[in-house]
Amino acid sequence: MELNKKTIIVTGASSGIGKAAASLFAAEGAQVVLGARRAGNLEIVAERVKSAGGEAAWLAGDVREHGYAQALVDLAIGKFGKLDGAFNNAGAVGAMTPVPDMDVANWNDVIATNLTSAFLAAKAQIPVMTAHGGGSIVFTSSFVGYSNGGLPGMAAYAASKAGLVGLAQSLGSEHAAANVRVNALLPGGTVTPAGGEGNPDVLAFVSGLHPMKRMASPTEIAQAALFLLSDRSTFMTGSPMLVDGGMSVRLT
């Protein structure tokens, strides 16, 4: 039980990596607090956790809205009395287009969904973690925007995900003395709806980018998040942790 009785917020829990994380964390003893916009999906994920003997609460909302991060923290405190960790994982790719053709609205939306949401989450989560002796925050960044991840048409996404590394570094430094750790998890291509699931051409292209010649399963990425949220990683903060099938050491 790597997360025994730890209360953990998971955003993006309606699909893909977040959905896999919800089940994995609960199986490792966590009380999970699930967030995303699709209430029906969250309810199904929460019921699956409960029927497997775990504990879950959920609240549908939009991570771009300023009150939502605080509402998830309030739910964690109201239901479980504390907050030990957060997997701030919700994200979206946005429109894929070269910058000269990119709408400002798309830029703003991708930054709000992927980066400003993390700022809002940390702002709401850190005070309660500090008050209870510490905690662990994980942002889902990406290989895109980091080493070997300069894919054309993905400038807004890349900038938002690179921004999460800088945010984790600053927060890691700011709150280390309070025992609040903040790390960025950088997955390689992962088989989820956002990662091209159901589209064989996309899956083949992205698999081919990786030295391992395959993509990750959502659970493989969730396992890395589990490590960062657990007491196995107590000397890690401000780190960009690559879980990318060797993408960063790709030669061509």
Binding region for ligand NAP (CB under 6 A):
11-12, 14-18, 36-38, 41, 62-64, 89-92, 113, 140, 142, 187, 189-190, 192-195
Q: Which is nearer to ligand NAP, 3 or 36 (CB)?
A: 36
Q: How many CB atoms lie within 10 A of CB 132?
A: 16
Task: Tell me if 13 sits within 8 A of 57, measured CB to CB.
Answer: no
Q: Which is nearer to ligand NAP, 176 or 194 (CB)?
A: 194
Q: Which is nearer to ligand NAP, 180 or 184 (CB)?
A: 184
Whole-number minimum distance, CB 153 to ligand NAP, in Å? Answer: 15
Whole-number minimum distance, CB 20 to ligand NAP, in Å? Answer: 8
Using CA atoms, how far residue 138 sits from 149, 165, 172, 239, in Å, is 20, 10, 11, 10
Q: How many CB atoms lie within 10 A of CB 160?
A: 28
Q: Which is nearer to ligand NAP, 38 or 232 (CB)?
A: 38
Examine the residue annotation and report whether 157 is marked as an active-site residue of this protein: yes
Whole-number minimum distance, CB 164 to ligand NAP, in Å? Answer: 9
Of 137, 164, 171, 168, which Cα lies nearest the Cα of 149?
164
* Separation CA 116–CA 114 (nearest Å): 6
Task: Tell me if 205 sits within 8 A of 195, measured CB to CB.
Answer: no
Task: Tell me if 206 sits within 8 A of 215, measured CB to CB.
Answer: yes
Whole-number minimum distance, CB 132 to ligand NAP, in Å? Answer: 25
Q: Which is catalytic among the residues 157, 167, 196, 218?
A: 157
Catalytic residue annotation: 157
